[in-house]
Amino acid sequence: QVQLVESGGGLVQPGGSLRLSCAATGSIFDFLLTQWYRQAPGKQREFVAAINTGGGTNYADSVKGRFTIFRDDAKNAVYLQMNSLQPEDTAVYYCRALGSGTYWGQGTQVTVSS
């Protein structure tokens, strides 16, 4: 049974940084693609960033240059480093993995506010 567990969310001031973690049971090598999505109150869930098994990455235009997705194979985890956070980045952030199936984590809240 594949499980994804996110952590690292919290309250941060505008301009601050957070690093989100997505820890997987089972090997992340089993996943063809690992992604981060986010959902703000009253809005649809939207794509944020993705990383494939070869290490290739892709980002939403709204986060390019500020967010970085990377993986630590030794820790079987994928991370989202978020810099220069703005109030519009406030959302619940979800990890999603595609492999033999599609798997979602439970989400972690990120709030950017002064």
Closest CA to 105 of 72, 70, 74, 80: 80
Which tens digits make up the pLDDT trace of 52-82?
Answer: 988 999 999 999 999 999 998 888 899 999 9
User: What's the pLDDT score for residue 68?
Assistant: 98
Nearest-Å Rg of the Cα atoms of the chain is 13
Residue 13 pLDDT > 80: yes
User: What's the pLDDT score for residue 81?
Assistant: 98
Which tens digits make up the pLDDT trace of 40-58?
Answer: 999 999 999 999 988 999 9
Burial class (CB in 10 A: 0-12, 13-18, 19+), 110: buried
Q: Count of CB atoms within 10 A of residue 58's CB?
A: 14
Residue 15 pLDDT > 70: yes
